[in-house]
């Protein structure tokens, strides 16, 4: 069986991926979602929790309801409100009577929503978790770990019973996270990476996309290094006379699928904003210059 067939067979079925943790893969593969969104079901007793219910698609919802079976669904948790994560929350709540508990809806500002088309405007939580707050059930506890950066409302969820951390889109093994301003914030993202690096109690990460990460702190340390080298690369682009993001991206992301270049440009912008806050660069219009 080749890898693609294997993935095809994984849609819409619950698979045990660790103690207390099952996974249902949604059929929404793309360059941004890898094989699709992974919804996790936590708990093996009277009640369970669902993390990142995913896109609102009948096949996926049916698979979740079947996997929950006779257990009570105690909570529907969302790491953040991108369209591949939270739209099934409302429909799943309607089918199961479970409360939606988790990240905040995105903040609206005077000039409109901070977020772009990737954001789910219909997300309505019954309860918002702050950093460190917990939801618990029969044999499981989930603690919110606030990790803004990919989005301003992003939460990871720790399962102390097993040492698992559900990382949403904050840290994934298959790809770096997209950080797209204005809601995406590189300064916050780097602080959230440092926060995870300090958590020695987490022994496995379950991201929303891609395989589980077995040596998570090693990966996080590598990601911090990767972002630092991107930053240096951007400074070299400016030194080489490329002052606009559109001029920098083809040089910086030569080997990368060109469909991802617009997102890469957003990440470069996020780095430039972070560098500007630190006084390293300045800009006028879309020309970026090194600060004197
Ligand atoms: Zn996302």
- Tens place of pLDDT for every residue, the chain, 292 residues? 456 566 667 898 999 999 999 999 999 988 778 889 999 999 999 999 999 999 999 999 999 999 999 999 999 999 999 999 999 999 999 999 999 998 988 865 545 445 566 788 889 999 999 999 999 999 999 999 999 999 999 999 999 999 999 999 999 988 888 898 988 999 999 999 999 999 999 999 999 999 999 999 999 999 999 999 999 999 999 999 999 999 999 999 999 889 889 889 999 999 999 999 999 999 998 899 999 7
Q: How far is the CA of 209 from the centre of ligand 1 (A)?
A: 10
Q: How far is the CA of 239 from the centre of ligand 1 (A)?
A: 32
Q: How far is the CA of 84 from the centre of ligand 1 (A)?
A: 7
Strands 72-77 and 47-51: parallel
Q: Which residues contact 89 (CB under 8 A, 6 or more apart)?
A: 53, 76, 78, 100, 123, 125
What's the whole-model pTM score? 0.92
Q: How far is the CA of 217 from the centre of ligand 1 (A)?
A: 21
Q: How far is the CA of 113 from the centre of ligand 1 (A)?
A: 16
User: Is 131 in a helix, a strand, or coil?
Assistant: coil
For residues 195-209, b (16+ Cβ closer than 10 Å) or e, as one string?
Answer: bbbeeeebebbbbbb
Q: Which residues contact 277 (CB under 8 A, 6 or more apart)?
A: 187
Q: How far is the CA of 81 from the centre of ligand 1 (A)?
A: 7
92: nearest Cα among 61, 55, 52: 61
Helix (H) or strand (E) holding 268: helix 261-277
Q: How far is the CA of 154 from the centre of ligand 1 (A)?
A: 9
């Amino acid at each position: 069986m080749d890898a693609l067939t294997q993935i095809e067979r994984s849609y819409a079925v619950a698979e045990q991926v660790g103690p207390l943790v099952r996974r249902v893969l949604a059929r929404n593969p793309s360059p941004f979602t890898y094989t699709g969104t992974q919804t996790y079901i936590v708990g093996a007793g009277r009640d369970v929790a669902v993390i990142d219910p995913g896109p609102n698609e009948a096949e996926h919802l049916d698979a979740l309801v079947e996997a929950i079976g006779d257990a009570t669904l105690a909570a529907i948790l969302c790491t953040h409100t991108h369209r591949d994560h939270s739209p099934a929350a409302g429909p799943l709540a309607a089918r199961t009577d479970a409360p939606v508990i988790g990240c905040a809806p995105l903040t609206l500002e005077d000039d409109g929503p901070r977020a772009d088309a990737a954001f789910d405007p219909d997300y309505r939580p019954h309860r918002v978790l702050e950093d460190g707050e917990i939801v618990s059930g029969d044999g499981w506890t989930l603690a919110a770990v606030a990790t803004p950066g990919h989005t301003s409302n992003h939460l990871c969820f720790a399962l102390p019973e097993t040492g698992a951390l559900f990382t949403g889109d904050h840290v994934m093994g298959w790809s770096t996270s997209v950080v797209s301003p204005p809601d995406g914030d590189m300064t916050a993202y780097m602080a959230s990476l440092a926060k995870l690096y300090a958590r020695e109690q987490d022994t496995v990460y379950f991201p929303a996309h891609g395989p589980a990460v077995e040596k998570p702190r090693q990966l996080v340390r590598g990601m911090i290094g990767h972002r630092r080298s991107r930053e240096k690369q951007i400074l070299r682009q400016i030194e080489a006379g490329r002052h606009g993001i559109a001029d920098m991206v083809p040089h910086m992301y030569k080997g990368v699928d060109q469909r991802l270049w617009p997102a890469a440009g957003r990440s470069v912008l996020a780095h430039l904003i972070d560098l500007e806050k630190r006084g390293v660069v300045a800009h006028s219009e879309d020309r970026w210059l090194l600060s004197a």
